[in-house]
A and B are shown apart, each in its own frame.
Chain A
């Protein structure tokens, strides 16, 4: 799950609420079945946290730090040390594990923070801006690790970021926040199920009757170079068969456009739904 939002939208605060670090006066948070106001310590055994800022204890070696935090998570000392070696290997820090973590580069620090979040084998990991300050190669590699955890290893991952591409690379579901409010809960490819979809039509010529026919469907029509962009509200054309889970099939829109073309004896070269990028959707939500 990705938490998206501009700076100051409350992503980190939400994660800290989930960790039980923020005392709430009017709300109730329950994580892994535990009430975070009273049982936060129990819940934290199953949670891993990778903070954006800081998050290392100077003077300790990488393996020392991870094992120390493992012990603080309730692991026996020997288990914690063994696990520390394993997770440091997983994040690619095997060779640097005995170096002092103050001497690590930014990329290594991010990996170390990921390792300490994983040492006690949590059910969920909360990652706050995990790619912050990384070069492109480091970013790709840490995202691959996170994706592996979420998709192949069965860990729940909540990724807080303002980088849309990070979310697209890892997450299936997105929460969009702005000024502490939840704007939307979407899946990454939500565009394919939204009622309002955009279709690209090629080979429309300059057929005014065809354009008028589309407008009669309630479509917004714009010409973009040799493409005709048709924005259709599918809720006016079809009723979703099984509620919002199924959504609105884009095939219904394609079919409607082809029907109008056939009515006007017009042949089209291609009709397809224009994929809505996460960026477009994000900016639409935030700016709205």
Chain B
């Protein structure tokens, strides 16, 4: 019977498999920003450094000595070089996370969306997990996916010259780093988002925190107080990456200290999310 001839009818399940709610949230959250053209343009722009790195890899594999003259870790195609690439991408990480992640919970809080979500068979883990996946996807789009592509590119142009390290180990290192750092950063950003009701304010807080701590860290390093560099929010993630990529420390503290700081940030974010994400107040 055509839909326009019917009143209210009961649902007859088709027997198809329903998707988990975290997947439904993540899929929609990932697709929604891609409808904005300027964001797609920015996404394309974020791959320019990867293209540059691809050119470097090509030259290195075809005429290594020429590129070696340029020097710098960014031109190397060892793990150190890929960590340098991730550091180079920090601007895009910061921008994409701010644009995509800042409103994820704040908007739901503003529009009473939490009440709507939690009137469904949906738990806190699925809700936060789905939202965190959205942020992680964009984090990986500017860090992990280019590295995978670059490693594959290197293997394709010079399969004999590229060892197991570049084909397998480096992508695995990058994946581990992106899962840990991306997951933690996603939770921290979501915690910020859960504290506000307007994405613009969350964006401002995020900017102040990322930029502010970087400035503090750099000034401290300049003054010779290297242990204060641990205040650098993104610096700690990269420093933790130095453990994973077997690279020298990025700031004045060891990679393990940074890993602990990242763990503390993550724990604090989970605590905030648990407190903030409630459809209503507690009644006794």
A residues near B (Cβ < 8 Å) are 13, 16-17, 19, 21-26, 41-42, 44-45, 47-49, 51, 53-59, 68-69, 71-79, 83, 85-87, 89-90, 94, 116, 118, 120-121, 148-149, 153
Contact = CB atoms under 8 A, between A and B. Distances in A.
A41 B119 contact: no
Given A21-B280, A71-B24, A77 B14 contact: no
Interface of B: 3-4, 6-11, 13-14, 16-19, 21, 24-25, 28, 32, 107-108, 110-113, 115-123, 278-284
A87 to B, nearest CB: 7
Given A75-B18, A78-B14, A90-B6, 4 more contacts: A41-B123, A55-B112, A57-B111, A71-B24
B116 A76 contact: no
Contacts of A45: 121
B121 A44 contact: yes
A87 B9 CA distance: 8
B270 to A, nearest CB: 18
Contacts of B110: 54
Contacts of A25: 284
A45 B16 CA distance: 17
A74 B18 contact: yes
A86 to B, nearest CB: 6
Nearest to A51: B115
A16 B8 contact: no
A19 B122 CA distance: 12
Given A22-B282, A68-B24, A94-B4, A83 B117 contact: no
B118 A85 contact: no
B109 to A, nearest CB: 9
Contact of B108 (A57, A118, A153): A57
Contact of B112 (A23, A54, A118): A54
A161 to B, nearest CB: 18
A79 B13 contact: yes
Contact of A79 (B6, B16, B122, B279): B16
- Residue of B3, B111, B121, B123 contacting most chain A CB atoms (<10 Å): B121
B283 A24 contact: yes
Nearest to B108: A57
A58 B120 contact: no
A79 B113 contact: no
Given A19-B119, A68-B28, A54 B113 contact: yes
Given A16-B279, A58-B111, A76-B18, A26 B10 contact: no
Contacts of A83: 11
Given A78-B14, A121-B10, A51 B112 contact: yes
Given A21-B279, A59-B32, A71-B18, A153 B8 contact: yes
A272 to B, nearest CB: 39
Given A79-B13, A90-B7, A22 B116 contact: no
B24 to A, nearest CB: 5
Contact of A86 (B3, B13, B18, B280): B3
A69 B120 contact: yes
A73 B25 CA distance: 12
17 contacts: A16-B279, A19-B279, A21-B115, A21-B279, A23-B282, A24-B284, A42-B121, A56-B111, A71-B19, A72-B117, A74-B120, A75-B11, A75-B13, A76-B18, A79-B11, A94-B3, A149-B8
Contacts of B279: 16, 19, 21
Contacts of B281: 22
A55 B114 CA distance: 9
Nearest to B25: A72
Nearest to A52: B112
A47 B119 CA distance: 8
A64 to B, nearest CB: 8
A28 to B, nearest CB: 14
B281 to A, nearest CB: 8
A152 B11 CA distance: 16
Q: Which 6 pairs from chain A and chain B are nearest by CB?
A: A54-B112, A49-B119, A76-B16, A121-B11, A21-B279, A41-B121
B122 A41 contact: yes
B121 A73 contact: yes
Contacts of A148: 7-8
A160 to B, nearest CB: 14
Contacts of A22: 280-283
A23 B283 CA distance: 7
A117 to B, nearest CB: 8
Given A23-B282, A76-B17, A54 B111 contact: yes
